[in-house]
Structure 1
């Protein structure tokens, strides 16, 4: 559902109070302080990647905020406005659903209660990052949204409290409950997509991680692939950094806008990568409302009062003109309450009240060995994410991380559950040690590609499905990427560095993959009634399931079947496949005059004036998802976005290489680093990662302290 439709639901239920506001805010002068409190040096290497040096971790966080603002200030501001519930005050009515959700989920209240409980180190980190944002805003007032300033450390924490539930689809569930065609007994399937902060349309997902121990490598080294698939632009696009303090923080990797720590990457001793998993983390309860009092619901044989509050949604209309829409917000013992067209529902989701996301990632950044890193993971602040790990000692590890509710049996938790009994009100989570995990398997490798934890490696050392109740909602499906990872790593007992690179950039669909089944289904159909479709079937029969840039059959197959890859196979009819194949054939003939066209001519990377062909495809290990441009092209927008391949040699010394789909200037069109990595990306090549200051200086573009880069 588009956000405009969602907004109509919000406004229709407002009971509406409108307050006129006409102001022109300005950046407060207090945002100009910071230089005397923090001392950070920003070293930009020849690719523009920022290496932030400071005496303290707080110094580094301050420099990180400033450097990231240089490259993507608008997105940073949007992320923090969204977490405050003030997005519509800047971007207008289409952002109002986000702001309503922030108040419905009590994000501000959660942060106020939890922030004092964070460690002093993490609070200092967040305040320093906020100071870096404020400093940049003070020096670039023409770009700053004054409604945001001054940024505080609590805004950073709120950003995580706001964003993490979007990864497991809380917004999708809210919207579904407000749709007029929602049935009383059905719910959407568990969400598997990341949402933009003001675009609630679905995104395909994907990420890969592989770890190899010395048991599996030809030179007895250890490998880790950090390979998340995120949108190439926006609030969940990766940004590459190197963070180095005299307090022992020395971390390379990727982070999202508003993060004061690396979210996945490596330090000298260890590293990790995340992929999205889909445990069941959201439940919806059907409430029985008192017919004599609509503000009461039945719970354990008594009527309880709903908590009633008022949400004020400030919405920009035109220029400085803003209106404040007021709406009732309800709460039950389960959590937030939605009054929809088919009833009144309460939501309960994993991790409500949790604010320690930054705390956990910070401890992971600073960990010096496997035990310290696992101790950080045991905080269990992150409610989801598969995690692959490797270190200089040769350890490898896979964890199906999650804050998974322990639910009562006897209910179908995939649908509505009764909200009138405490029997359905879960309070506890599956303990860390009972989560599916694999430690140092004899096979010497672990992998996860948004797939079942029950097929993490070859052989008998996988977690067993029988040990996990259905109520936990742990997925059993296998993506093509996971199938190929098992086929490639499982069949090679002595993997070289070159092979590790080749396997990561594999561009083949497994014969057991969903798209292979679709092709087989289409090819076993009776001959079509038109010659174009029959000609297309002939081309499809010759396709080798590969997505190399030069492949002549891939374009037809991808244009025809790419949108079915994530669908329920049982619901896809042969007629649907043939209709889609016919449409794809028309697109190719109209735009290229042939059914056989090099895949790279169709599959494109575009960034400013850069327009390059590339290989890969949906659910391929070299993942590329494209959107049609109406001219016969698919324009990449998601998939491989930040790739980091890490090796610890037999002596334990770390070496790594990386690539960003575009470049370090993720939104700065005036920078030469706006798209300078794109040519390497399409050729599936990586650049070196430098951690030693001497190495960085050998490839130094510029060095400065925040604010000193500006002309005097």
Structure 2
């Protein structure tokens, strides 16, 4: 029986013709599995005291006696609104996605085995605090209740969901936010380079054409920097509009002290970022160097041994069985060896054998930290939660009612020996290069209450986060931390605006969030300068394009008649740079943009909002904003009518505002609405117009105000 190579598995996941090489166990007939006893799935509901009140916009406000009751109610509400995505997350983190989605998901299933998600859970789950396991299991019970009430919508084998599934979701997904998938992609560049997609249409599958980046903006302004003494926090994550990392909005309140509003991803039983009555935080993606590749010397006599410190060491070898859906009841079963060295998971490629060591490997405490953040009531408690360092990456922008602000460049940053270039591959035969510890929380970059009174991050370097006099200095941190040094246009613009404004009003704070201008230091500005330097003499269309670009004021307002040409021409080039891919010729990209506008509109001066659209059901709206703007809108691959349809960017924007007396006002907007999948729901697209018009809704945190506008109130498992 031949063994599968991972290179073959990746290629096979993309071409049916390689089936004979890939799948060694042969054809099977999937006879299905019995649906669990539905009454047994519903039974845990009796142990949960929860009430869900849907506000005027359908957003669930979940009230419960205990935190675990609230988790149960959140799971039920999210299952109502986005069941298809939630069950896909469950099967993906079990390594069983290919059974339902076919060959394109086979590599993802293999990675679940390679990361040893489930063997780790078998040994570590019971070591988690009892209250965390109760929260995870209560969330699973809420999912199971809804599924038992709606069995016709459930994939075979999904039920029952368990608390382990909840923890597995955190373990599997969090490393991809700092780009771990790109490390694996690099190792197999000669086969067919792919990365994990978190988009809605091909979630968790390997793709060579990501649809949009995962980014974000976060601002915090202290009373000393505001015109009215208020403290303000912007929570502004840039995510896909739908799919496994699209935001779902909720408010959670328990009698144990939990009282928080914000966003969750499918499968998360607590708020991932948002705010409670006392404080809040915004997350943005950061990408320090958190993964290392080691070149292994494999024994010529035993492919399961590698050299370490002068001796041959046995790899830990197990076998993964991957079930792949073909058609009808037929599926293929593939066996693949999973190898692990002292460094981490082992990959065998055509050009060598490698081991990867990465931040978050074997980590199970993500929910512990998130729950502590949810429950924090002061800066001190919030910092204590951050000191857990259970989350491998992600920036935090913080603010609270006492007027404190902070920025934390969070990460599980390995303590690496000095004297090595950790951006390169490392020799795998030295145990002293296998790092064992992370830097303490006190060692990582952070700004707490800078004198300037503001902090920002927009996926840019942590060394540009506030006024220049207060910024962190690169020389204060060891090079082996691999801290980013790049700037985004969003980071440039946020600093250009806030550094110049000593007293920021509420109106200015919102205007800065929705800024649609490209900095003169941005990549797009450099491209425009390049295009204007070209000699297009005798080419009337390109001479006209140059004149058109010369009049561009760098604004992507929806009514701007110059933005369409600039953004259509610039996006392919900037996108390739962001992805580290070969760049298209900028001049050819400009020619193609000219041809596109001429073909579909017959002119170049098309208002940007005529091209850039928000579509949801019957809703079709003009959008301002664009790639890498503070008003972030990402749309690729024009539709047949020539228009771009937004698929990611600004999603679930929150503004938390604490007055000097501690009174909280919170405003929010979602790009669509609370009904993720139900096109017949009034909440399928009811927030789209507000989103397009850059307007907010006020969240009713007072129960009497909530009840006055409630559209539905119910108690899962107890009504009817």
Q: CA deviation at 1:556?
A: 0.5
Q: Is the 8 A contact 1:227 1:642 kept in 2?
A: yes
Tell whether the 8 Å contact from 1:167 to 1:194 is kept in structure 2 after alignment. Answer: no
Measure the CA separation in 1 of the matches of 2:711 and 2:596: 45
Pair 1:428–1:572, CA change in 2 (3 A): closer
User: 1:334 — aligned with what?
Assistant: 343
Report deviation, 1:289: 1.2
Distance 1:19 1:43, change over 3 A: same
3-state SS of 2:133 partner: helix
Q: 1:248 to 1:12 in 2, by over 3 A?
A: farther
Change over 3 Å in CA distance of 1:40–1:611 after alignment to 2: same
| Correspondent of 2:88 among 71, 74, 78 | 78
Q: Tell me, yes or no, if the aligned pair for 1:3 and 1:199 is still in contact at 8 Å.
A: no
1:278 is paired with a residue whose SS is: coil
Q: What pairs up with 1:183-262 in 2 under 5 angstroms? A: 196-200=203-207, 201-202=209-210, 203-262=212-271
Q: Secondary structure at the match of 1:438?
A: strand
Q: Which residue of 167, 173, 188 maps to 1:157?
A: 167
Q: How does 1:258-337 map to 2 (within 5 A)?
A: 258-337=267-346
Q: Say whether residues 1:23 and 2:31 are aligned partners.
A: yes
Preserved CA contact (<8 Å) 2:489 2:519:
yes
- Mean Cα displacement is larger for which, 664-673 or 123-132? 664-673
In the alignment, does 2:367 pair up with 1:358? yes
| Residues 4, 310 of structure 1: alpha-carbon distance in 2 compared, 3 angstrom cutoff | closer
How far apart, in 2, do the equivalents of 1:318 and 1:487 lie?
A: 56
- In 2, Cα distance between equivalents of 1:437 and 1:72: 36
Unmatched segments (≥5 aa) in structure 2 = 1-6
Q: Which moved more, 1:525-534 or 1:258-267?
A: 525-534
* Length, aligned pairs only: 704
Q: Distance in 2 between matches of 1:159 and 1:192?
A: 15
Counterpart among 97, 105, 114 of residue 104 in structure 1: 114
1:170 aligns with 2:177: no
Aligned residues of 1:662 and 1:677 also touching (Cα < 8 A): yes
* Counterpart contact for 2:196–2:204, Cα < 8 Å: no
CA contact (8 A) 1:179 1:341 kept: no
In structure 1, the partner of 2:146 is 136
- What is the Cα deviation at residue 2 of structure 1? 14
Note if contact 1:384-1:402 (Cα within 8 Å) is conserved in structure 2: yes
2:105 corresponds to which residue? 95
Contact 2:12/2:22 (8 A) holds in 1: no
Partner Cα separation in structure 2 for residue 445 and residue 564 of structure 1: 33
Structure 1 CA distance for aligned equivalents of residues 538 and 122 of structure 2: 66
Q: Structure 1's 308 and 3: CA in aligned 2 closer, same or farther, altered over 3 A?
A: closer
Question: What is the TM-score of this pair, normalised by structure 2?
Answer: 0.94
List per-residue Cα deviations over 1:167-216 (Å, max 9, x = no partner). Answer: 1222332233234359xxxx99xx99967312544342320000000000
Conserved 8 A contact 2:197-2:205:
no
Output the CA distance in 1 between the equivalents of 2:597 and 2:26: 52
Unaligned runs of 5+ residues in structure 1 are none
Q: 1:264 to 1:593 in 2, by over 3 A?
A: same
Asked if structure 2 preserves the Cα contact closer than 8 Å seen for 1:406 and 1:426, the reply is yes
Partner of 2:383: 374
Q: Does 1:471 align with 2:480?
A: yes
How far apart are residue 412 of structure 1 and its match? Answer: 2.4
Call closer, same or farther: CA 1:571–1:210 in 2, change over 3 Å.
closer
Cα shift at 1:700: 0.7
User: Are the aligned partners of 1:169 and 1:193 in contact in 2 as well (CA < 8 Å)?
Assistant: no
Counterpart among 47, 59, 66 of residue 37 in structure 1: 47
Q: Distance in 2 between matches of 1:527 and 1:259?
A: 55
Using a 3 Å threshold, how does the CA distance of structure 1 residues 284 and 542 change in structure 2: closer, same or farther?
same
TM-score normalised by length of structure 1: 0.95
Q: In structure 1, how many angstroms separate the alpha carbons of the residues matched to 2:440 and 2:184?
A: 28
Post-superposition offset of 1:109? 1.1
Contact 1:88 1:96 in 2 (8 A): yes
Q: C-alpha displacement at 1:114, in angstroms?
A: 1.9
Q: 1:66 aligns with which of 60, 76, 87?
A: 76
Residues 519 and 540 in structure 1, CA contact (< 8 A), matched pair in contact too: yes
Q: CA 1:574–1:675 in structure 2 vs 1: closer, same or farther (change >3 Å)? A: closer
Secondary structure (helix, strand or coil) at the match of 1:233 reads coil
CA–CA distance in 2 between the matches of 1:298 and 1:537? 61
Q: Deviations over 1:328-373 (max 9, x none)?
A: 1111111111111111111110121111111101000001111111
**d(CA) in 2 for partners of 1:624 and 1:284?**
35
2:3 is matched with none
Q: Deviations over 1:632-662 (max 9, x none)?
A: 2111011001100110001011111000001
Contact 1:15 1:327 in 2 (8 A): no
The two structures, once aligned, show a CA RMSD in angstroms of: 2.3
Give the deviation of 1:668 after TM superposition: 2.1
